C-alpha cells in the first residue's frame, strides 16, 4: 500500500528540522578562544614595541616615534577618560587632531598611509636599503627634491652689493677665528612661519623666505657680526619627512670632515601645534585670531616695542651602546644658552626640554643642541626679531 500524504509530509518536516539543527557553543569556549587572540595580539604588539635596532631608533626612526608619543596622545587618553575635560578642550580651541589608529599603525609597522613608499618598503624589505632621493637625482628627474648644500665661508664675497653701513656693522667685531666654529643647519628644513607662501605640506614650504632657512641665515649673519665664523647648511633634509634625522646625521658628519674646526652645532627648528596654513588656505591668517590662542601666547612676547617669538631648547637623552657621548654635556651647554638668553631678555627663553625619543644627532658634538625659534603660530618677522638676542646668548657662551 502506498504511503499516505500525511506520512510523507511528516517525514519531510522531520528531515528539514534535522538539517537545520542549531549547534550551541559554550560561553567558556568563546572566552577561551578570545583569550588566545588577545594573548597573540599582545605578544605581537610588545614584540614590535621593544625588539628594535637601537641604532635605527636613534636617527632614522625618531620621526615616527615622535609622531606617536606626543602630548596629543596623552590628551587623547585624558579626553576619552573624562568627557568634562574634552568639553573644556573644545571650548578653548585646544582639542588636538590626533588619529590614534593611524599613528599606532605607523609606529608598529613604519607604514605611513600618506606615503605609499612606506607600504612598498614594508612588503619589499630590500627597498628600505635604497636611497630614493639619490636614485631620483641620478636618473635626471626634473623635479627638485633636495638642494645642494649651500655653505658660505665667513668673509666670502657676496654677489649682492651691500652698503657701507651694513659692512661696518658686520666687521664691527674682529673674528675670534679664521676657520668656521659654528654649524647652523635644519633637520626639518621646510618648517614655515605664518606668511604668504606656496604650501608644500601643512605649515611647510620649500620657499626659503618663509621657512627656517631664513631664520638660520639671519642667525649666521648676527653671529658673524659678533666675530664668530659660521657655516650655514641649507640642505633640505625633510623630503620625505620620514628619516629626516638619518639624512641630517650623514650631512653633519660630511660637513665636519670638510670643516674639522667646527665645535658647535645648532639645529634650528620652529615648534608646532595643530594646523595653521594648509593647501586649502585661501588667506594668510591673522596670528591673533588663530583658534589655539593659548599656544600662540606661549610663543609670543613684547620687548622694546617689538613682538618677539619665544625660544625653546630641546636635548635628546637617548644614547645607544655605540654612542659614548654623555647627553648631560649637551644639557649643560644648552642650559648655559637658556640662562644667557634670559639675561639678555627676561623670559624670552621658555626653557630646556629633555626628550627620550632619540639623540637628535647631538651625540656627534657635546656642544650641540636643538633650538625652536617660535612656532607655526608666529610670523617670520617675529622669529627674525628674536634672532639677534639668540646670537648674543650664543656669543656670550662661546666666548666665555
The predicted-structure confidence for 201-227, as pLDDT tens digits, reads as follows 999 999 999 999 999 999 999 999 999
Assess contact for 98 and 75: CB atoms under 8 A: yes
**The pTM is what?**
0.61
Cis peptide leading into 240, omega within 30 of 0?
A: yes
What's the confidence (pLDDT) of residue 192? 96
Pick from 158, 199, 257: nearest CA to 376? 199
What's the confidence (pLDDT) of residue 105? 59
Burial per residue of 126-158, b for 16 or more beta-carbon CB atoms within 10 angstroms, e otherwise: eeeeeeebeeeeeeeeeeeebeebebbebeeee
What's the Cα-to-Cα distance from 98 to each of 77, 102, 121, 274, rounded to whole Å? 11, 9, 25, 9
Backbone angles phi, psi at 222, to 5 degrees: -65, -40
What's the confidence (pLDDT) of residue 104? 58
* Distance in angstroms (rounded) separating the CA atoms of residues 237 and 248: 6
* Distance in angstroms (rounded) separating the CA atoms of residues 341 and 347: 8
What's the confidence (pLDDT) of residue 256? 98
What's the confidence (pLDDT) of residue 243? 92
Assess contact for 46 and 38: CB atoms under 8 A: no
Spacing of C-alpha 400 from chain mean position? 32
> pLDDT in tens for each of the 400 residues of the chain?
556 655 555 555 555 445 445 555 566 777 777 888 888 877 766 655 444 443 333 444 444 444 445 555 565 666 566 555 554 444 444 444 445 555 555 655 656 555 565 666 555 654 544 444 434 333 333 333 334 444 444 443 333 333 444 444 444 567 778 899 999 999 999 999 999 999 989 999 999 999 999 999 999 999 999 999 999 999 999 999 999 999 999 999 999 999 999 999 999 999 999 899 989 888 888 988 888 888 899 999 999 999 999 999 999 999 887 887 899 999 999 999 999 999 999 999 999 999 988 899 999 999 999 999 999 999 999 999 999 999 999 999 999 8
Amino acid at each position: 500500500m502506498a504511503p499516505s500524504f500525511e506520512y510523507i509530509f511528516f517525514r519531510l518536516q522531520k528531515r528539514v528540522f534535522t538539517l537545520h539543527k542549531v549547534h550551541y557553543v559554550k560561553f567558556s569556549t568563546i572566552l577561551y578562544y578570545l583569550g588566545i587572540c588577545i594573548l597573540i595580539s599582545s605578544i605581537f604588539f610588545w614584540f614590535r614595541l621593544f625588539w628594535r635596532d637601537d641604532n635605527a631608533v636613534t636617527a632614522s626612526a625618531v620621526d615616527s616615534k615622535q609622531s606617536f608619543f606626543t602630548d596629543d596622545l596623552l590628551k587623547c587618553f585624558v579626553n576619552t577618560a573624562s568627557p568634562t575635560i574634552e568639553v573644556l578642550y573644545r571650548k578653548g580651541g585646544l582639542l588636538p587632531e590626533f588619529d590614534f589608529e593611524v599613528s599606532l599603525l605607523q609606529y608598529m609597522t613604519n607604514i605611513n598611509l600618506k606615503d605609499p613608499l612606506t607600504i612598498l618598503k614594508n612588503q619589499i624589505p630590500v627597498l628600505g636599503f635604497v636611497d630614493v632621493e639619490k636614485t631620483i637625482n641620478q636618473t635626471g628627474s626634473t623635479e627638485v627634491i633636495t638642494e645642494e648644500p649651500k655653505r658660505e665661508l665667513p668673509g666670502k664675497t657676496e654677489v649682492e652689493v651691500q652698503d657701507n653701513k651694513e659692512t661696518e656693522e658686520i666687521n664691527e667685531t674682529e673674528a675670534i677665528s679664521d676657520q668656521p666654529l659654528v654649524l647652523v643647519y635644519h633637520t626639518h628644513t621646510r618648517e614655515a612661519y605664518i606668511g604668504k607662501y606656496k604650501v608644500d605640506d601643512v605649515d611647510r614650504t620649500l620657499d626659503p623666505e618663509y621657512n627656517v632657512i631664513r631664520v638660520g641665515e639671519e642667525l649666521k649673519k648676527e653671529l658673524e657680526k659678533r666675530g664668530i665664523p659660521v657655516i650655514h647648511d641649507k640642505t633640505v633634509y625633510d623630503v620625505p619627512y620620514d628619516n629626516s634625522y638619518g639624512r641630517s646625521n650623514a650631512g653633519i658628519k660630511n660637513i665636519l670632515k670638510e670643516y674639522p674646526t667646527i665645535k658647535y652645532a645648532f639645529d634650528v627648528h620652529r615648534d608646532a601645534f595643530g594646523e595653521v596654513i594648509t593647501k586649502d588656505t585661501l588667506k594668510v591668517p591673522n596670528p591673533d585670531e588663530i583658534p589655539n590662542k593659548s599656544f600662540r601666547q606661549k610663543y609670543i612676547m613684547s620687548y622694546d616695542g617689538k613682538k618677539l617669538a619665544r625660544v625653546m631648547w630641546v636635548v635628546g637623552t637617548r644614547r645607544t651602546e655605540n654612542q659614548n657621548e654623555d647627553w648631560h654635556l649637551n644639557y649643560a651647554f644648552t642650559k648655559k644658552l637658556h640662562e644667557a638668553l634670559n639675561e639678555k631678555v627676561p623670559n624670552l627663553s621658555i626653557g630646556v626640554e629633555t626628550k627620550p625619543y632619540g639623540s637628535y644627532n647631538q651625540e656627534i658634538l657635546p656642544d650641540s643642541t636643538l633650538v625652536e625659534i617660535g612656532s607655526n603660530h608666529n610670523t617670520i618677522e617675529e622669529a627674525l626679531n628674536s634672532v639677534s638676542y639668540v646670537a648674543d646668548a650664543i656669543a656670550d657662551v662661546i666666548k666665555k
